[in-house]
């Protein structure tokens, strides 16, 4: 049966392959609580769960979606449980649930059978003590302590402990959580759905901060398809599958597959030319022309689908990369091409670089590795994106 009203993505992430990673052990007879921010409100909700990289089926015993302490049970083709085959996704049946801009959406899933930690995206999640605690409030965390709904905790949470730094200098990278790939809403007419495709600095959360900075009446979704370590041209090496398929490889699935997409932000970092010779073979080093060709292919595919393209400049390199001037020269050449390309540009480089040394991140925007944006840095990137959205007149500027 065809839906009478359109669906729009309110939250997304790009799932990636964590087989072989030691970040998290698997799940057996536990409930996982997945918590993400809504960028767009609506009156109906549905959720996509992915087993894209699993080697075996994932059994969902029961599930629910909640806002605050209000939970609604979910069904899968009318059934309370489902099995997701390897390589596949399952959508919950739509439910009537009011979601507002910036609400925290909670998805509870009971996993009764042994389930490896394989298909992962970036968001906050908790695991329960043994048993089915779908919709429980408080939620009994593994180890015995309770977790209340909608704690005062700003997204994205980090996985290093440094997010608690009161001055915003900690990491903003959210921890990886299982299965959840997309949440869509209906019952609203979105003005725009902006999809951010990129690497670690995108995965670290500037799209979520951008959405949070926009007013609810803007009716604009900003959704994240970033993967740490991701490259435009080449898939992840076998030794590190969590870096994901290349932007070119996953474009159709992660960009064109985003419901209601109207704009694409191409926001990659230096992985394409920062990893070769250090972590991957030097033979993978591209030329500037090859990098630009990768961008041009993404641009062409987006424009053919009717999306407006926004290009982000590349932020300063890791300090160790600056010891090799040819890598910095490549960044500068690529940024010069981006700025002169004729496309809409969000100048992330100018937003967070040091005034005294433009080859480095400004200290107030740098995470502890002096390479990635801190919480402050991610917010600054988000502010730069808001300024571009205003220039595009996607919603009226104050006083206009």
Arithmetic mean of pLDDT, 75-104:
97
User: Per-residue pLDDT for 122 more than 80?
Assistant: yes
Predicted local distance difference test score (pLDDT) of residue 3: 53
CA distances from 154 to 14, 35, 169 (A): 21, 11, 14
Provide the pLDDT for residue 321. 87
Whether 164 has a pLDDT exceeding 60, the answer reads no
- How many Cα atoms sit within 13 Å of 308 on the Cβ side? 14
Burial class (CB in 10 A: 0-12, 13-18, 19+), 86: middle
What pLDDT does 312 receive?
98
Q: How confident is the model at residue 166 (pLDDT cuts 50, 70, 90)?
A: low
pLDDT confidence of 147, banded at 50, 70, 90?
A: confident
Nearest CA-CA partner of 335 in 354, 318, 316: 316
Q: What is the mean pLDDT of residues 157-176?
A: 58
Q: Is the pLDDT of residue 183 over 80?
A: yes
pLDDT at 159: 32
pLDDT at 155 over 70: no
* pLDDT level of residue 306 (50, 70, 90 thresholds): very high
Region of residue 342 (left: phi > 0; alpha: psi -120 to 50; beta: else): left
Report pLDDT for 396.
64
The answer to whether residue 154 scores a pLDDT higher than 60 is: no
Q: What is the mean pLDDT of the chain?
A: 91
pLDDT confidence bin for 320, thresholds 50/70/90: confident
Q: pTM surpassing 0.85? A: yes
Q: Evaluate if residue 353 carries a pLDDT over 70.
A: yes
Cβ atoms of 40 and 182 closer than 8 Å: no
User: What mean pLDDT do residues 189-210 have?
Assistant: 95
| Angle, in degrees to the nearest 10, between helices 288-304 and 325-339 | 30
The answer to whether residue 173 scores a pLDDT higher than 70 is no
What is residue 152's predicted lDDT score, i.e. its pLDDT?
39
Segment 318-340 shows an average pLDDT of: 93
Give me the residues paired with residue 379 across strands. none
**Predicted confidence band at 323 (pLDDT cuts at 50, 70, 90)?**
confident
| 375-391 helix and 206-213 helix, angle to the nearest 10 degrees | 60
Q: Are 100 and 216 in contact (CB under 8 A)?
A: yes
* Residue 111 CB neighbour total at 10 angstroms: 24
Over residues 203-243, the pLDDT tens digits come to 999 999 999 999 999 999 999 999 999 999 999 998 899 99
Q: Which helix (H) or strand (E) covers residue 133, if one does?
A: none
How far from the centroid of its chain's Cα atoms is residue 65's Cα?
Answer: 20
Work out the number of other CB atoms within 10 angstroms of the CB of residue 236.
Answer: 22
Question: Does residue 158 have a pLDDT over 70?
Answer: no
Least confident of 34-38, 144-148, 272-276, 396-400: 396-400
């Amino acid at each position: 049966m065809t839906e009478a009203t359109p669906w729009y993505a309110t939250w997304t992430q790009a799932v990636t392959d964590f087989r072989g990673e030691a970040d998290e052990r698997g799940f057996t007879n536990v409930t996982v609580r997945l918590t993400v921010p809504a960028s767009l409100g609506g009156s109906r909700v549905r959720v996509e769960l992915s087993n894209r990289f699993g080697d075996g089926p994932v059994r969902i015993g029961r599930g629910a979606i909640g806002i605050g302490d209000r939970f609604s049970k979910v069904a899968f083709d009318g059934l309370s449980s489902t099995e997701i085959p390897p390589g596949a996704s399952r959508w919950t049946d739509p439910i009537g649930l009011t979601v507002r801009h910036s609400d925290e959406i909670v998805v509870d899933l009971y996993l009764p059978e042994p389930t490896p930690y394989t298909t992962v995206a970036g968001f906050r999640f908790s695991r329960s003590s043994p048993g089915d605690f779908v919709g429980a409030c408080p939620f009994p965390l593994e180890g015995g302590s309770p977790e209340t709904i909608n704690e005062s905790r700003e997204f994205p949470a980090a996985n290093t402990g440094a997010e608690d730094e009161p001055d915003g200098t900690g990491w903003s990278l959210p921890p990886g959580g299982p299965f959840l790939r997309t949440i869509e809403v209906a019952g609203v007419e979105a003005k725009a759905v902006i999809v951010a495709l990129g690497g670690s600095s995108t995965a670290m959360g500037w799209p979520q901060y951008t959405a949070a900075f926009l007013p609810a009446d803007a009716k604009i979704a900003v959704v994240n398809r970033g993967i740490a370590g991701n490259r435009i041209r080449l898939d992840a090496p076998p030794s590190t599958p969590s870096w994901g398929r290349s932007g070119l490889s996953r474009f159709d699935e992660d960009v064109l597959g985003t419901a209601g997409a109207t704009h694409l932000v191409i926001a990659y970092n230096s992985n394409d030319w920062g990893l070769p010779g250090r972590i991957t073979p030097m033979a993978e080093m591209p030329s500037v022309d090859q990098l630009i060709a990768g961008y041009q292919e993404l641009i062409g595919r987006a424009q053919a689908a009717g999306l407006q393209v926004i290009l982000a400049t590349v932020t300063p390199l890791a300090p160790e990369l600056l010891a090799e001037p040819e890598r910095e020269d490549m960044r500068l050449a690529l940024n010069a091409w981006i700025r002169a390309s004729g496309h809409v540009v969000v100048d992330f480089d100018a937003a967070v670089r040091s005034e005294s040394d433009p080859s480095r991140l400004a200290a107030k925007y740098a995470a502890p590795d002096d390479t990635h944006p801190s919480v402050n840095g991610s917010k600054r990137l988000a502010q730069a994106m808001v300024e571009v959205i205003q220039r595009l007149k996607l919603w009226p500027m104050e006083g206009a």
